[in-house]
Structure 1
Amino acid sequence: MLTIGPHLSIAGGYKKAGKEAVSLGANTFQFFTRNPRGGKAKALDPADVEGLTAIMQANGFGELLAHAPYTLNMCSATPATRDFARMAFKEDLLRLEQLPCRLYNFHPGSHTGQGVAAGIRWIVDMLNDELWPQQKTTVLLETMSGKGTEIGRNFEELRAIIDGVELQDKIAVCLDTCHVYSAGYDLVGNLEAVLTEFDRIIGLSRLRCVHLNDSMMPFGSNKDRHEKIGFGTLGIDTFERIVTHPQLRELPFFLETPQENTLDYKKEIDLLRLF
């Protein structure tokens, strides 16, 4: 069965999010570890965590995905921004040890004028400082669209980060369909070529999940504007090829599409399960 879920708020607790996922026909979900714009994370309630675990076991859930706040920028030129990134990253990894979630996704960050090489050095240094051998969590670098001074606009930049990480079994990748299409990887015209390129540079064994997002923007625009599945420039046929592809179909898929409310996710989940 396709493992697919929406992005859900955990403001009401993890158990509530798990129940909501089930009501939407999902068997996984993504959540922000804290406010996406930063701030403190809510204290964990052991009973709430146990409730989520029970829901996952009863409903055959796949891997959940924790998402770091957007303000986590390991490679900023501003020391205070890097300090926040370190604090949030360290705290999130410790919290995830107490949750039934083993995947943690983050945007590599923006070098803010220092240059790609300098930005990658900052990221690698922080990962090497904060990852530890016994952690259960795999940290995922997200593929980015390439706007501004973003790092991760191509597979080579992600590979450079991976190569610098000492604990190789703790680092992998989340592929965002909107982002890679906007970055110039033609998922619509030649999905096979994109996967071959990914495998050659990074290795498909490091691909642990996929963000399923259509795009409001044209191919190669370097713009990050998500659209509902089938309503953007990627189109529904592309998503059918992605979720049924033999090298992708066993991965967990996560929707980050714009919705009026979470009930709208059900339409996309039901549609994608038809393929």
Structure 2
Amino acid sequence: MHIGCHLSSSKGFAAMGRQALELGADTFQFFTRNPRGSRAKDLDEADAAALTALMAEHRFAPVVAHAPYTLNLCGAREENRAFALETMADDLRRLEHLPGQLYNFHPGSHVGQGEETGTALIAAGLNALLRPDQSTTVLLETMSGKGSEVGGSFESLRAILDRVELGEKVGVCLDTCHVWDAGYDIAADLDGVLAEFDRLLGLDRLRAVHLNDSKNPLGSRKDRHACIGEGCIGLEALVRVVRHPALRDLPFCLETPNDLAGYAREIALLRRAAED
């Protein structure tokens, strides 16, 4: 089982790796830049190399770089779409200094243009971004379906993937809170949900899991994360997720409302449960 949490990148790549080890983790997630802005720190190639060496030494799973929330590849305004493309392209260039990692992003919100238009714009953006020689896999995150979000169903993600030219460079990150809030009952029918995922998307495309409980009942379409075992999904169901044979070798990243000590407790709890 590979599990980690969301860490601050303010002290650099290698510092995040060392912090992950202190928390009992062997993967982690970080924002590529200010999650609600556009500024990114200058790239320190030596620091990136130090993290790569640390990950190899301690047999880390791939780490997950998360794009800022503000990016919207299917925004109504062309300048907003151009900003998203420019920022994501810069992120992908930087990530080549950490070869073979994952880059996760929220597909976007069509803001009243309609799902079909949103889907077409997201796919066009990915076709402009992806390069045959890149080592980073770009992940579409499963969303809760609130408002005008695109990606609130497996069918929605399939529609994007069908239009992506370099499909081998794109995967999916399954967020347990989001799929629950979108109406997929991973507590009562995890096997059924994964079978539906496999039918529509292919389990080979599932490359990472955001492991979160939810403050909301099934199908609420609200997206409010809870600590593990303190929400409507529940500890027993989330343990089944980490122990499932189709999932257990993936990187699991906690995005629960926690401080570092809380993350350490959850990582230890889930490791114990996975080994029982």
TM bin, normalised by shorter chain, reads over 0.9
Equivalence for 1:40: 39
**Structure 2 matches for 1:98-117, cutoff 5 A?**
98-117=97-116
Q: In the alignment, which residue of structure 2 is the partner of 1:254?
A: 253
Pair 1:273 & 2:271 matched: yes
Structure 1: unaligned runs, 5 residues or longer:
none
Contact 1:64-1:100 at 8 Å conserved across structures: no
Moved over 6 A (4+): none
* AA of the residue aligned to 1:57: A
Read off the aligned partner of 1:265 and give its amino acid letter.
Y
**CA deviation vs aligned residue, 1:131-168 (integer Å, no higher than 9, x gap):** 11011111100000011100001000100000100001
Structure 2: gaps of 5 or more residues: none
Distance in 1, Cα, partners of 2:117 & 2:23: 43
- TM-score normalized with structure 2 length: 0.97
Please say which of residues 97-106 and 59-68 is displaced more in the overlay: 97-106
- Cα distance in 2, alignment partners of residues 109 and 250 from structure 1: 28
Structure 1 residues 73-222: aligned runs within 5 Å = 73-222=72-221
| 1:182–1:221 contact (8 Å) kept in structure 2 | yes
Write the deviation string for residues 23-43 of structure 1: whole angstroms up to 9, x where unpaired: 000001001111100212111
Instruction: Give the TM-score taking structure 1 as reference length.
Output: 0.97
Q: Which stretch of the first structure deviates more once superposed, 46-55 or 36-45?
A: 46-55
CA distance in 1, matches of 2:93, 2:144: 29
| Partner SS, residue 162 of structure 2 | helix
Distance 2:245 2:203 in 1: 12
Retained in 1: the 8 A contact 2:49–2:97?
A: no
* Counterpart amino acid of residue 74 in structure 2: C
1:113 partner SS: coil
Task: Tell me the CA shift for residue 101 of structure 1.
Answer: 4.9
Aligned residues: 273
